[in-house]
Amino acid sequence: MTYDVEAIRAEFPILQRQVGDWPLAYLDSANTSQKPRVVVEAIEEHYLRHNANVARAMHMLGAEATEAYEGARARIAQFIGAARPEEIVFTKNASEALNLAAHTLGAGLGPGDEVVTTVMEHHSNIVPWQMLCERTGATLRWFDVTPDGRLDLDKAEADGLINERTRIVTLTWVSNVLGTRNPVAKVAELAHAVGAKVVVDGSQAVPHQRTDVASLGADILAFTGHKMCGPTGIGVLWGRHDLLETLPPFLGGGEMIEIVEMERSTFAAPPYRFEAGTPPIAQAVGLAAACDFLDGIGLDAIEAHEHAITEYALDKLLAIDGFQLLGPSDVYERGPAISFNIDGVHPHDVMQLFDSRGVAIRGGHHCARPLHRRFGVQSSTRASSYLYTTTAEIDALADAMVYTRDYFAPRFGG
Ligand SMILES: Cc1ncc(COP(=O)(O)O)c(C=O)c1O
């Protein structure tokens, strides 16, 4: 079956917008994706017909809302190949899921223990581990990257980065800046060989490729709904059930308990132990609709489309004088985020000029300041595509690039 990008775009009314006289080219999906009509309708239908709190109300609407919420849990479990719905914990975003992982997995850590992350992480997968190490006296260490933006496994081996003191290894599956796709299974093998647990940040991977947690190698996977056609306000932590059962709670409150007395409480089984208070019910319903939508197109077809778009984009952009790519140029080892600098032009100027031509991209350090420092740059500009991106939008990107370069750096003589 051919991939009908125009039919897919028709499901996203926002993509028809104009920016002044220019058609919108939305190339900021790594930041947040657009939402198809079915997701918005599922949320609307929930609020208009089934709204009630879950688990507490013994009435028809309460039962319907609970069924919808637990149905969403089962749908998301199926989407990532989880063994059972109880392995899915709903959070408010990936950041909360990673904080949950750091708090619970790291509860017993102390001086002499080591946590390993990477220099290419989003701040969401650095700061919670720094906070953990400050609390417990454990030491934070990290994988470096090679000049072309891959994890430096050779240096890690030479430095003995993963060793008998390592308790947790955490890494992003796909970098939000470089686009690098990391060898998660290989890193997990090294970590498991020394008895460490593996936490994977799947925020930039789960939206773009088939996920099978059974073969991924992770003990915990975190991702976020709004980057995968779902609503904001919902994230997911997946963990093996036997592991989740051993972990202490994260936040305290209603619905995460078994019995509460004034002196102490006992806690519910997972996943409820980790879901204090009223959960993101409508958001879970919306995320389940997003999974239906993505599966309806097929994750393999989506990945192939993005692969072709990324190859097309890299071919065009790398041919532009003054374009400086951060990250691997080999399309086989990368996701769709392309970060770059234009020689001599500040990313904020780049963003502004691109916006004036309808091209929506992101400039700054993309919540990955250590990575930018590692490359000796303050910031970069990022174009990121998704299942609805067209070659015409990439053409608009390349045109904006040449226009901006020549506007600010006329020495290129365009
Ligand atoms: C790799 C990565 N991890 C974590 C996050 C944080 O996601 P959220 O803001 O939804 O918590 C992002 C978002 O940009 C990301 O790209």
pLDDT digits (tens, 9 = 90+) for 132-159: 999 999 999 999 999 989 999 999 999 9
Catalytic residue, from 133, 229, 291, 367: name it.
367
pLDDT on residue 412: 63
Query: Which ligand 1 atom minimizes the distance to the CA of 172?
Result: 1
pLDDT digits (tens, 9 = 90+) for 41-98: 999 999 999 999 998 778 999 999 999 999 999 999 999 999 999 999 999 999 999 9
Which residues 6+ apart lie within 8 Å of 174 measured at CB? 180, 181, 182, 202, 204, 205, 208, 334, 335, 337
Mutation to probe ligand 1, out of 32, 92, 95 (largest number of atoms < 8 A from CB)? 95
| Predicted model pTM | 0.97
Q: Is the pLDDT of residue 282 over 70?
A: yes
Which percentage of the chain shows pLDDT scores above 70?
99
The residue type of 331 is: V
203 CB within 6 A, ligand 1? yes
The Å distance, Cα 213 to ligand 1 centre, comes to 19
Question: For this structure, is 367 an active site residue?
Answer: yes
pLDDT on residue 387: 98
| In the chain, domain spans | 5-31+298-412, 40-295
Q: Is the pLDDT of residue 414 over 60?
A: no
CATH of 40-295, one of 3.50.50.60, 3.40.640.10, 3.20.20.70, 3.40.50.1370: 3.40.640.10
The Å distance, Cα 171 to ligand 1 centre, comes to 13
Closest CA to 274 of 73, 52, 110: 73
6's enclosing H/E stretch is: helix 5-9
What CATH number should be reported for the domain whose range is 5-31+298-412? 3.90.1150.10
Q: Is the pLDDT of residue 331 over 90?
A: no
Minimal-distance CA residue to ligand 1 atom 7 = 94
Reduced 3-state DSSP string for 295-337: HHHCHHHHHHHHHHHHHHHHHHHHCCCCEEEECCCCHHHECCE
362 CB within 6 A, ligand 1? no
Q: How far apart are CA 62 and CA 50, in angstroms?
A: 8
pLDDT digits (tens, 9 = 90+) for 95-133: 999 999 999 999 999 999 999 999 999 999 999 999 999
Closest CA to 229 of 41, 383, 365: 41
Q: What is the chain's alpha carbon radius of gyration, rounded to the nearest angstrom?
A: 22
Supply the DSSP string of 319-384, one letter for each residue.
TSTTEEEES---GGGB-SEEEEEETTB-HHHHHHHHHTTTEE-EEE-TT-HHHHHHTT-S-EEEEE
Minimal-distance CA residue to ligand 1 atom 14 = 31
93 CB within 6 A, ligand 1? yes
pLDDT digits (tens, 9 = 90+) for 171-221: 999 999 999 999 999 999 999 999 999 999 999 999 999 999 999 999 999
Mutation to probe ligand 1, out of 32, 173, 176, 199 (largest number of atoms < 8 A from CB)? 176
The Å distance, Cα 339 to ligand 1 centre, comes to 16
